A and B are shown apart, each in its own frame.
Chain A
Amino acid sequence: MHLHHQKHHQTYITNYNKALEQLDDAMTKGDASTVVKLQSAIKFNGGGHVNHSIFWKNLAPIHEGGGEPPKGSLGWAIDNNFGSLEALIQKMNAEGAALQGSGWVWLGVDKELNRLIVETTGNQDPLVTKGPSLVPLLGIDVWEHAYYLQYKNVRPDYLKNIWKVMNWKYASEVYEKEFPES
């Protein structure tokens, strides 16, 4: 957690800020070539900042509700979309384990179709890159830095254990904001 937060996330922020300054400068000068060239750094570092900011809120200590299954409308929506919470977890773990290289596995909601989805993104691509109407509820970082010191190459063990500290309260809040209970 120390390294992930103070080194990795901080580096994304540092580099995102730098890219933003360069972008602002290029936009002011009308330098389209540089504006386009900077998009890679913007997407990677900005995405890294966006994704990790969500990630820290996705997790909670057990004594603060981490791991407690979702109730209310999100719990109901999960059963509707996936059959059961266990089925959803199994699906996310399978897709997270199979992800090639670095990336994230997401539980999201398509706010136009009111449908829950499981999706993966590569590197630091935010969920919205897979569809403009997708809203992230939970994301699991499957970059090796997220688990290697503890789990080594055994990413499936990391995925199995992270659910013990999953903050379903936060996911429910985000879901209910998109679909307020009438």
Chain B
Amino acid sequence: MALRHLLTKKPLATQPLGILGFRRVQTFSLPDLPYDYGALEPAISSEIMHLHHQKHHQTYITNYNKALEQLDDAMTKGDASTVVKLQSAIKFNGGGHVNHSIFWKNLAPIHEGGGEPPKGSLGWAIDNNFGSLEALIQKMNAEGAALQGSGWVWLGVDKELNRLIVETTGNQDPLVTKGPSLVPLLGIDVWEHAYYLQYKNVRPDYLKNIWKVMNWKYASEVYDKEFPES
């Protein structure tokens, strides 16, 4: 087993080494918020941001790291049954980490451009695909409000068709589970933990207000990276 690891292409220096010097999986830690916990008020309360970041996102990371270790172990042992069994925990917790990492970047304080409509090629693409920014927002809010249970509503781009799409995913499924060529530009968490302390059962009010702190600059950057302006 040791020989197989030594023969892998990755230089040992970039691999975190365990006690015995064997390759170990890359684990993750909670990314910092790009702003203060209260910076998105009144759209999203400081209390929610605290819990959402330090409890919910942190828990996904903790459980993802644990599942990754178990997965690495099962793969090493050739234990296919356990490898398959772990996929649920990997998808849920890994997805939770992926989705929330995007989410924090999707939001920005108003004084840092939060809520400022998109310009440039993304603004143009939105008008092309949906008619107007208002129409897009209305569509996302309707789908977000109608989502049964827990999940996310996304603005994404199909990078093969160069087409913007609005899509929902359940639980912590990342957007890519709806299509391998889909790239998330903006995601809105509609799990109850994302809004309940402030908006109670009235998810539509949360959806209405979150656009005031939407970071369209980030969405434009992601879009421009997929489709660089010539």
Contacts and interface: CB of A to CB of B under 8 A. Distances in A.
Contacts of A148: 192-193, 196-197
B149 A153 contact: no
Interface in A90-117: 100-103
Interface string B189-214: 00111001100110000000000000
Report which residue of B55, B148, B172 has the largest number of chain A beta carbons within 10 angstroms of its beta carbon. Answer: B148
Contacts of A40: 148
Contact of A152 (B51, B88, B150): B51
A145 B171 contact: no
Given A144-B193, A148-B196, A122 B201 contact: no
Interface in A6-27: 7-8, 11
B56 A153 contact: yes
A102 B150 contact: yes
Contact of A144 (B92, B172, B191): B191
B150 A3 contact: no
B7 to A, nearest CB: 38
A3 B192 CA distance: 13
A158 interface: no
A44 interface: yes
Given A148-B196, A149-B196, A100 B88 contact: yes
Contacts of A102: 149-150, 192
A170 interface: no
A149 B171 CA distance: 20
Given A3-B200, A153-B56, A153-B59, A101 B150 contact: yes
Range for the number of chain A residues in contact with chain B: 20 to 34
Contacts of A152: 51, 55, 197
Contacts of A144: 150, 191-193, 196
Contact of B149 (A7, A122, A149): A122
A171 to B, nearest CB: 26
A133 interface: no
B171 A101 contact: yes
Interface string B122-163: 000000000000000000000000001111000000000000
A166 to B, nearest CB: 23
A100 B55 contact: no
B197 A149 contact: yes
Report which residue of B150, B151, B191 has the largest number of chain A beta carbons within 10 angstroms of its beta carbon. Answer: B150
A172 interface: no
A165 to B, nearest CB: 21
Contact of A8 (B149, B151, B170, B201): B201
B143 to A, nearest CB: 13
Top 7 A-B residue pairs of the complex, sorted by shortest distance between their CB atoms:
A144-B192, A101-B171, A123-B149, A101-B150, A102-B149, A7-B201, A153-B55
27 contacts: A3-B200, A3-B201, A7-B201, A40-B148, A44-B148, A100-B92, A101-B150, A101-B151, A101-B170, A102-B150, A103-B149, A122-B149, A123-B149, A124-B148, A143-B192, A144-B191, A144-B192, A144-B193, A144-B196, A148-B192, A148-B193, A148-B197, A152-B51, A152-B197, A153-B51, A153-B56, A153-B59
Given A123-B148, A153-B55, 17 more contacts: A7-B200, A11-B201, A40-B148, A101-B170, A123-B149, A124-B149, A144-B150, A144-B191, A145-B192, A145-B196, A148-B192, A148-B196, A149-B197, A152-B51, A152-B55, A152-B197, A153-B193
